[in-house]
């Protein structure tokens, strides 16, 4: 993410290439997952939102293979949701946000919060401002 935002295309390319050496990784499939995510983030930062979604979406259930905290993995989910939002795919956004709420809600403590969030997400289909979308994306917990 940092390399992509810094605009250092050479270092980003080196990172992508280094991920093809599966002997340095724990599992052979880490290579493909990591390369797709690096490509997806680079596409997002390059404002190629449809391409970012195409790269990140198939990997969203594989993030745990790469390790990292739940919060770090959630950042990639946020990239995906925002890429879909910027592509105008409201149905994909609402579905992905509901999926995110389902994974992050602590069911034993806040079932009402879960239902409230789903209602707010459903309201997106009727249109909402970027500010409200950003607030809703941040509040999913």
| Residue 110 neighbours by CB under 8 Å, 6+ apart | none
- pTM of the prediction? 0.76
pLDDT at 141: 45
pLDDT at 40: 92
Sign of dihedral through CA atoms 127, 124, 74, 56? negative
Alpha-carbon distance of 112 to 97, in angstroms, equals: 17
Both tokens assigned to 17: 């290439």
> Over the chain (141 residues), what is each successive 10-residue block's mean pLDDT?
64 65 65 86 91 94 84 88 91 88 68 78 76 72 45
Closest listed residue to residue 80, CA positions, set 59, 64, 104: 59
pLDDT at 16: 60
| Residue 9 neighbours by CB under 8 Å, 6+ apart | none
Both tokens assigned to 41: 């983030």
Phi first, then psi, for residue 62 (nearest 5°) are -105, 5
């Amino acid at each position: 993410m940092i390399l992509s935002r810094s605009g250092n295309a050479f270092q980003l390319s080196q990172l992508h290439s280094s991920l093809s050496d599966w002997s340095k990784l724990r599992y052979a499939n880490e290579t493909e997952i990591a390369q797709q995510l690096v490509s997806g983030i680079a596409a997002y930062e390059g404002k190629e939102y449809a391409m970012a979604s195409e790269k990140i979406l198939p990997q969203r259930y594989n993030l745990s293979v790469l390790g990292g905290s739940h919060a770090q993995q959630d950042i990639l989910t946020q990239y995906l949701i925002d890429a879909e939002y910027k592509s105008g795919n409201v149905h994909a956004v609402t579905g992905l946000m509901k999926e995110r709420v389902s994974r992050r809600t602590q069911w034993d403590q806040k079932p009402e919060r879960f239902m409230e969030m789903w209602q707010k997400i459903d309201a997106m289909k009727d249109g909402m401002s970027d500010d409200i979308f950003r607030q809703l994306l941040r509040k999913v917990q």
